[in-house]
């Protein structure tokens, strides 16, 4: 019955939405890239999409280049044409540079026909909040772009070496947070929900803004090389406008750097208004064969321990839980069945009273109260010696005074008790009434002193 309950509950119950940030091409969750990956065929009908699950360095080394670091004297370094550069701040770019001033770069088909006749260029697409591009991969990407290819990176994090080579700098704004139920987490990093408006600089498209409220961060370009850079887009919060999308020429190719990767996730692409922004942003990529960086899927599917895959599959997960529960029940009931019965040990009865009654009856049957009197006197005097450390050989006035001072009893009662003991010691035969009187006097002494 328990197994039937689990099966019915698992098949009919409403499954909660998984808000985990994956950026995997196979993930259907809100923050996966399955929708975008499936739409690549329509966005780039003449392009073949090849998936790479290794670092850019490993992929480019295996498919395009020899080892750039094999011989330091023969290291190939991609460089831009030696022209005077002019680094400007973001404010100067916004005020003095616009999309129309770089109209020669407006169309994505900017490569000359004769160049395409002997070279088959490609586009490298990296979409991940933390792309983790190391220095070696940066060198290979720079060499790759310098040869006339295109690299588009949408991320919160850019390689320092890559930014230095492109003469660009980024900064971070703290965005106002929204009070929404869901938030994002990547590893130990937690993202609060903030609202941003994104716009594109190309005036051929509708000059409208696209509003996003999940996964947005205040990463922007604070310094750029105005000679080789074209500003393609901005993000805005409140009255602050920042550059978040640029095209940078490097050698014979171009880098497209974008700072809001969450615009390409399933959650945002399923909104028709925001989907237009993603389509426009991707339209800058030429219709060449595309290399899709999918290391996120590789990390997502990696099994770090034997139970990870089992717990990720509903059927195996419930089978594991039922097995654990069954084992627990077996241990509980089997241990109870096998345990030896613990015998009940009754408490030993107190026989002191019975012993006293037996001795009393024995003396009573003999009819000699003299023995009882002698024993009571003997026990009483022994008590005086042990408790009050008094000598009981001479029961004189000095003994009476010392006993009274140590017990605190009235002097007259002390004298009556001691004198009565002296009197009984002189008698040869003692009646029962005297035994009763002695018992009462001694008992009264114990009550007042103990």
Local mean pLDDT, 10-residue blocks, the chain (450 residues)? 59 66 86 91 91 91 72 44 48 47 37 48 92 90 93 93 94 72 45 76 78 86 92 89 94 94 90 86 92 76 60 81 87 69 82 79 73 86 91 89 90 90 85 85 88
- What is the rounded distance in angstroms from the CA atom of residue 196 to the CA atom of residue 262? 12
Measured CA to CA, the distance from residue 208 to residue 213 in angstroms comes to 17
- The most distant pair of C-alpha atoms in the chain lies apart, rounded to whole Å, by 152
Quickly count: other Cβ atoms within 10 Å of residue 140's Cβ: 26
Query: Which residues are CB-contacts of 186 (< 8 A; sequence separation ≥ 6)?
Result: 21, 129, 130
Compute the residue count for the chain: 450
Torsion of CA 139, 144, 150, 152, to 10 degrees: -30
- The two tokens of residue 214 are 């999940």
Residue whose C-alpha is closest to residue 215's, from 272, 264, 153: 264
The topology under which CATH files domain 19-302 is Rossmann fold (3.40.50)
pLDDT for res 198 = 92
Quick one: pLDDT at residue 178? Answer: 57
Q: Where are the domains of the chain?
A: 19-302, 368-449
pTM of the predicted model over 0.85: no
- Using DSSP's 3-state secondary structure scheme, residue 418 falls into helix
Per-residue model confidence (pLDDT) at position 449: 85
The span from the CA of 104 to the CA of 110, in Å, is 8
Residues 418, 400: contact at Cβ < 8 Å? Answer: yes
Q: How far apart are CA 73 and CA 353, in angstroms?
A: 110
């Amino acid at each position: 019955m328990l197994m039937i309950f689990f099966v019915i509950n698992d098949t009919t119950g409403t499954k909660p939405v998984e808000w985990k940030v994956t950026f995997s091409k196979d993930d259907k969750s809100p923050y996966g890239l399955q929708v975008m990956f499936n739409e690549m065929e329509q966005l780039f009908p003449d392009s073949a999409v090849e998936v790479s699950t290794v670092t850019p360095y490993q992929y480019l080394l295996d498919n395009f280049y020899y080892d750039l670091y094999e011989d330091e004297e023969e290291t190939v370094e991609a460089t831009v044409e030696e022209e005077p550069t002019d680094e400007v701040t973001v404010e100067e770019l916004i005020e003095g540079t616009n999309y129309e001033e770089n109209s020669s770069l407006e169309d994505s088909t900017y490569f000359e026909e004769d160049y395409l006749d002997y070279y088959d260029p490609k586009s490298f697409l990296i979409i991940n909040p933390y792309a983790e591009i190391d220095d070696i991969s940066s060198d290979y990407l720079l060499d790759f772009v310098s040869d006339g290819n295109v690299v588009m990176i949408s991320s919160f994090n850019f390689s320092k070496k890559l930014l230095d080579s492109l003469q660009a700098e980024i900064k971070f704004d703290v965005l106002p947070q929204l009070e929404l139920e869901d938030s994002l987490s990547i590893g130990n990093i937690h993202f609060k929900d903030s609202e941003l408006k994104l716009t594109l600089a190309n005036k051929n498209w509708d000059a409208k803004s696209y509003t996003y409220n999940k996964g947005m961060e205040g990463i922007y370009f604070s310094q750029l090389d105005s000679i080789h850079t074209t500003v393609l887009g901005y993000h805005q919060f409140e009255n602050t406008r920042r550059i978040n999308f640029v095209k940078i020429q490097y050698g014979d190719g171009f880098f497209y750097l974008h700072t809001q990767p969450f615009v390409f996730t399933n959650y945002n692409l399923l909104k028709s208004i925001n989907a237009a922004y993603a389509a426009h942003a991707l339209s800058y990529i030429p219709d060449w064969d595309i290399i899709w960086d999918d290391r996120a899927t590789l990390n997502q599917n990696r099994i770090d321990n034997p139970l990870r895959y089992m717990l990720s599959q509903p059927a195996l997960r419930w089978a594991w839980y039922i097995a654990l529960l069954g084992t627990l029940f077996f241990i509980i009931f089997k241990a109870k069945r096998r345990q030896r019965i613990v015998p009940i040990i009754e408490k030993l009865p107190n026989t002191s009273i019975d012993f006293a009654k037996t001795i009393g009856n024995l003396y009573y049957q003999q009819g000699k109260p003299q023995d009882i009197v002698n024993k009571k006197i003997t026990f009483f005097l022994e008590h005086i010696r042990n408790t009050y450390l008094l000598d009981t050989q001479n029961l004189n006035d000095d003994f009476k005074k010392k006993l009274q001072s140590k017990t605190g009893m009235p002097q007259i009662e002390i004298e009556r008790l001691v004198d009565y003991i002296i009197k009984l010691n002189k008698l040869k035969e003692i009646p029962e009434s005297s035994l009763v009187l002695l018992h009462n006097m001694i008992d009264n002494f114990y009550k007042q002193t103990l």
